[in-house]
Structure 1
Amino acid sequence: MASIFGSAATTTTAAAAPASSTQGDLKSDLELVSPPDDSIQEISFSPNADMLAVASWNKKVQIYEIQQNGNSAGKAMYEHEGPVLSVCWSKDGSKIFSGGADKAGRMFDASTGQSTQVAAHEAPVRCVKVVDIPGAAGPILVTGSWDKTIKYWDLRSQNPVVTVNLQDRCYTLDTALNLMVVGTADRYIDIFNLSNPGTIYKTLQSPLKWQTRVVSCFPNSSGFAIGSIEGRCAIQYVEEKDNSLNFSFKCHRENPPNQRDVTNVYSVNAISFHPTHGTFSTAGSDGTFHFWDKDAKHRLKGYPAVGGTISSTAFNHNGRIFAYAVSYDWSKGYQGNTQGYPNKVMLHPVKDEEAKPRPPQGGKKR
């Protein structure tokens, strides 16, 4: 089988697809082998290898290796004492961190196969990220919880270095360079400059009207995207001088056939930025994902529905693989979780023309 995911040196020409073509296809997408047997909450790629960590409600974090021919294999697994709600990797790819409904943050050492508890909260740990703090002796783990706090952990100590009180429960958290953005209940967005991690740099309420589902930082740390339950995404810059660049747009909505006055609105569950192009994806409860160019305010590609809600997405380290979890997201309550509902992770090989920013000349913006 040909090398479906290519390599970092692989290039494709824009001529392979007409500039006007925004319809993508899923025909080359491959399914991850032996996925979790319960709802998938979050997926995360290693920053320097094609290793994928999958956190699920089966209380496990499962780690897979993805080969260039698209084959995948389970490599390791460790457990929490409750559903796992978040997972991420250390910057060198040697360790995996996770947070769960057991109120614990855990670390898995890939070299030894050992997992240890490294963080604790008074309520479920909803978000985990590894950050670099200027002046710190090493990487710091950040955990965000439904106990309305975020905590910074030096892994050599049992106690948090800093605890910051939030306005409400932490729902989503992301970082890029020195920027960290936390989305909480009641639509609060807290912005942190990691040069001063114990203080909230700026707080705003989401420009979107309904509950925040996800925040995702621009790779250059100048701003972030927000996704909400109302089928809308906002592009927000950190500094006031860039306020003119802020905007929001509708996505993950549909008009049923023969019902012109009806619009079905779906939650935006995941936003992932391409590591090199700076374009981004949205994915939602309608079971579709799309690639966007925020600077051109343009949809690059839209893809057909995948047969179930998409709960989490991730690009690999060079942007050649886009992984998406097809798993029930509870958007329709318990009655929507029917027997036989899909629960899988799919791997989409990304071609340059799918994710490259739109050239500045030619065509209308939309």
Structure 2
Amino acid sequence: MSSLFGSANTASNSSLFGSSSTTTPATSSSFGNVQVQPELSGDRELSSPPEDSISDLSFSPQAEFLAVSSWDKKVRIYELAPNGDSQGKALYEHQGPVLSVHWSKDGTKVVSGGSDKAGRLYDLQSGQSQQIAAHDATIRSVRFVDAGNSGQQMVATASWDKTLKYWDLRSPQAVSTVQLPERTYAMDTQQKLLVVGTAERHICVFDLNNPGVIFKTIPSQLKMQTRAITCYLSANGFAVGSIEGRCAFQYVEDRDQQKSGFSFKCHRDNVTPGPRSEANVYSVNAISIHPQYGTFSTAGSDGMFHFWDKDSKHRLKGYNSLGASIPCTAFNRNGTIFAYALSYDWSKGYQFNTPNYPNVVRLHATTDEEVKPRPPKKR
């Protein structure tokens, strides 16, 4: 496989995050049950990764910077070199596990939220972080949004306190607070579309031209708890993943949903093949959209990731289990790098978070075979 990263030789990096570390190719993993796959042998690992479970990944839309949030109460920002080497660029802390991180459009700021009920903003130019949001319970998801008609980016924070709040960075008070039907489990935005998935399978759709009002609340197509939501580039719909090993492609408008909406099984394996087969079912933890092609990736508790073309209802490429959960993924700004974390996802409770469980982030150089839509079949 041709690689954006060149050869996969180990390379030393001085790191802001502690002792020097190596970017280790996937062929020489030292993380216990993490599996080696020849097709992923060119994937590189971030130097000095988090010390506890990795919760979220977000690439800068302006440069090759990757923000990583984790349960060790820290947000780390890495700079990636063309050969795949990585080094720490910045680090800031919360007072509890950090669950979500997101970049501003201009790539100058990072926002994060977590179990300390605080939203924090880090400014790359000043090197300073400050609290810019507060809730009465854990902040599950944060996003920069284009709310209203002012052209001024705001921050949206969604919490387990059953509220969504909007914050103008020039003011310490929330601009608007929206009551949600339940606790937030996932959120994403694209253009003027914001979608929040909550407990009890509610999905709240917002038109950011009128951000203080829920545009419509619809039930998830999936029968069990929502785990991930990602909006389409066209901002007319969104993909939903659940704990039942299923993914759904949904649309905002009813006519589009009737025409093109569907769901499918993924991240599950058959234990006993046959008409009465039983399956191991795994959570779909992450759905990421390719920024150029609009295709999707899914990743789950089974340690697998796949690339999908929703329009042709086709799996473009899939990989076998890497032996550890994948809690989060992200494409870089042009889709040439796919980042995925191997880390505990807490799906089996605290007792399964053993000391030898890996906490690594790998960088995979994508190919068109994996992520480019297939041409329609001739009939």
Flag whether TM exceeds 0.5 (same fold). Answer: yes
- Structure 1, 132-141 or 326-335: larger mean CA deviation: 132-141
| 1:238-281 deviation per Cα after TM superposition (whole angstroms, max 9, x unaligned) | 11121221100000001237797221000000000000000000
Aligned-partner SS, 1:286: coil
1:76, distance to aligned residue in structure 2 (A): 0.7
Aligned-partner SS, 1:161: strand
**1:18 matched residue in structure 2:** none
Return the alpha-carbon distance in structure 2 between the equivalents of residues 211 and 3 of structure 1. Answer: 37
Return the alpha-carbon distance in structure 1 between the equivalents of residues 270 and 139 of structure 2. Answer: 37
Gaps of 5+ in 2: 7-36
Q: Is 1:95 aligned to residue 115 of structure 2?
A: no
**1:65 matched residue in structure 2:** 79
Return the alpha-carbon distance in structure 2 between the equivalents of residues 301 and 94 of structure 1. Answer: 34
**2:310 matched residue in structure 1:** 294
Q: Is 1:249 aligned to residue 264 of structure 2?
A: yes
> Do the aligned residues in 2 keep the contact of 1:24 with 1:303 (CA within 8 Å)?
no
> Do the aligned residues in 1 keep the contact of 2:272 with 2:278 (CA within 8 Å)?
no
- Aligned pairs for 1:114-133 (under 5 A) are 114-133=128-147
* Aligned with residue 180 of structure 1, among 194, 200, 206: 194
Alignment-mate amino acid for residue 340 of structure 2: Y
1:74, distance to aligned residue in structure 2 (A): 0.9
Return the alpha-carbon distance in structure 1 between the equivalents of residues 311 and 56 of structure 2. Answer: 27
**2:56 matched residue in structure 1:** 42
Return the alpha-carbon distance in structure 2 between the equivalents of residues 131 and 24 of structure 1. Answer: 40
**1:20 matched residue in structure 2:** none
> Do the aligned residues in 1 keep the contact of 2:271 with 2:277 (CA within 8 Å)?
no
> Do the aligned residues in 2 keep the contact of 1:100 with 1:124 (CA within 8 Å)?
yes
**Could you say what the CA RMSD is over the residues aligned between the two structures, in angstroms?**
1.7
1:48, distance to aligned residue in structure 2 (A): 1.3
Return the alpha-carbon distance in structure 2 between the equivalents of residues 333 and 168 of structure 1. Answer: 22
Aligned-partner SS, 1:295: coil
Give TM-score, length-normalised by structure 1: 0.92
**1:347 matched residue in structure 2:** 363
Return the alpha-carbon distance in structure 1 between the equivalents of residues 273 and 230 of structure 2. Answer: 36
1:107, distance to aligned residue in structure 2 (A): 0.4
1:361, distance to aligned residue in structure 2 (A): 2.0
**1:312 matched residue in structure 2:** 328
Q: Is 1:4 aligned to residue 4 of structure 2?
A: yes
Return the alpha-carbon distance in structure 1 between the equivalents of residues 3 and 247 of structure 2. Answer: 34
- Aligned pairs for 1:245-284 (under 5 A) are 245-256=260-271, 261-284=277-300
Identity %: 62
1:305, distance to aligned residue in structure 2 (A): 1.3
**Greater relative CO (CA pairs within 8 A, separation 6+):** 1
Gaps of 5+ in 1: 7-22
**1:16 matched residue in structure 2:** none
Aligned-partner SS, 1:25: helix
**2:27 matched residue in structure 1:** none
Aligned CA distance change for structure 1 residues 341 and 91 (closer, same or farther; 3 Å): same
Aligned-partner SS, 1:76: strand
**1:200 matched residue in structure 2:** 214
Aligned-partner SS, 1:186: helix
> Do the aligned residues in 2 keep the contact of 1:3 with 1:70 (CA within 8 Å)?
no
